[in-house]
A = this chain, B = another copy of it.
Amino acid sequence: MTRLRTRTNTCTKLDIRTVAERADVSIATVSRTINSIPTVSPLLAERVWKAIRELDYYPNSQARSLVSGRSRIFGLIVPEITNPFFPELVQGFEDIAVENGYEMLVSSTNNDPGRMSVCIRRMLERRVEGVAVMTFGVEEPLLQQLSERKIPLVLTEFLLDTPHVSTLLLDYKMGFRLGVEHLVKLGHRHIAFISGPLALHSARTRREAFLASLKEFQLPIRESWMVEGDHTLEAGVRGFQALADQGEIPTAILCSNDMTAIGVLKAAYHAHVRVPDDLSVIGLDDIRFSEYTLPPLTTIRLSGVEIAQAAFHALQAQAESEKGKDGVRKYPISTSLVVRESTAPARTINIFPFPR
């Protein structure tokens, strides 16, 4: 028989055995109850739940994963956390992960590829069941470490040619097509582009998608209007100046992310170039802030939350797939155009100097 104890007994340790004793059942029965294994009679289950509530017991997840061989943790590697796009993505991932009984282990490389190895070591030590790598980057050799261990992996649009790797196909083509089309309809023919760092695979992909759209609409391509940035706000400021310094600037600037576009807005303001009257600006991402810039930013929407959810589903599909098939898939992520107030009909081509 179980002796009654006070509810707040802080002295004894609180493990599954304690619960079993209090409910007067075996340890196995408690475990089965917790895991909703149906071979427990309702009578005992009720006793167990009562004991759990009274003791305020929480199973030790470390012991659980040790024995079950499943950590129920997914890793998420992001390049930085300063760019608001990524917090949105992280939050989206946390939400869906927790909802589905998984834990999330975030790690940021802080835009330093050298830190990727630290991130991966953390993932391996915690025995994550999958990793979503959102750095849009170039660290194939390191990722091999994961895929060699058959750890499910999700990458964005970069095709690592190994098993256990799912891919998110971000539809930049469509996005830039919509953006350029929008500008063309407004009468723009001279469009500049501020890219991300071209060392990044995704930055090159975006640039190519932009160029493809220019070709599609038979717009002129001028090398000097293709400026390389680094996805920061400062890159937008510098990019605008680089364009302005050429003495003649296009009537529209398309940026490969919103932070850059916001930098362009700021630089344009200081140069007394009016947006959208003198210059149309389009970003990419649709971060929250874009709605609140002056003027509100027209942008190509790429939903961080949608990416996060797709990444989670990809990992879950792989982690929980049957032995036979590996659950690897490609997940298309669509883009769309959000028209706000940073774009307007083109004037004639802007001839510098604007007042600086």
Query: A-side interface residues toward B, CB under 8 Å?
Result: 8, 10, 56, 58-63, 65-66, 71, 81-82, 84, 86-88, 90-91, 94-95, 98, 103-108, 110, 118, 121-122, 124-127, 145, 148, 150, 233, 262-263, 266, 269, 288-289, 292, 294
Q: A81-B87, A106-B106 are in contact. List 20 more A-B contacts (CB 8 A).
A: A8-B148, A59-B125, A60-B127, A61-B126, A62-B62, A62-B63, A62-B127, A63-B66, A66-B66, A81-B88, A84-B84, A84-B87, A87-B87, A95-B110, A103-B105, A262-B292, A263-B292, A269-B294, A289-B289, A294-B294
Bound Cα distance A62, B126 (Å): 7
Most B CB contacts (10 A, CB to CB) among A8, A150, A289 go to: A289
Contact: B58 with A62, CB < 8 Å?
A: no
A interface: dominant SS = helix
CB distance from A91 to the nearest CB of B (A): 4
CB distance from A296 to the nearest CB of B (A): 9
What 4 pairs across the A-B complex have the smallest Cβ distances? Answer: A58-B124, A62-B62, A81-B87, A81-B91
Bound Cα distance A122, B66 (Å): 17
Partner of A122, one of B10, B82, B98, B145: B98
Can you name the residue of chain B whose Cβ is closest to the Cβ of A94?
A: B108
Bound Cα distance A94, B104 (Å): 14
Bound Cα distance A81, B95 (Å): 12
Can you name the residue of chain B whose Cβ is closest to the Cβ of A65?
A: B62
Contact: A61 with B10, CB < 8 Å?
A: no
Most B CB contacts (10 A, CB to CB) among A61, A95, A148 go to: A61
Partner of A94, one of B60, B82, B106, B289: B106
| Residues of chain B with a CB closer than 8 A to A95's CB | 110
Bound Cα distance A87, B289 (Å): 15
Given contacts A103-B122, A292-B262, contact A91 B66 (CB under 8 A): no
Interchain Cβ contacts under 8 Å between A and B, 22 examples: A58-B121, A60-B125, A60-B127, A62-B66, A62-B71, A62-B126, A62-B127, A63-B66, A66-B66, A81-B91, A82-B88, A82-B91, A94-B106, A95-B110, A98-B122, A103-B105, A103-B122, A103-B126, A106-B106, A263-B292, A266-B294, A294-B294
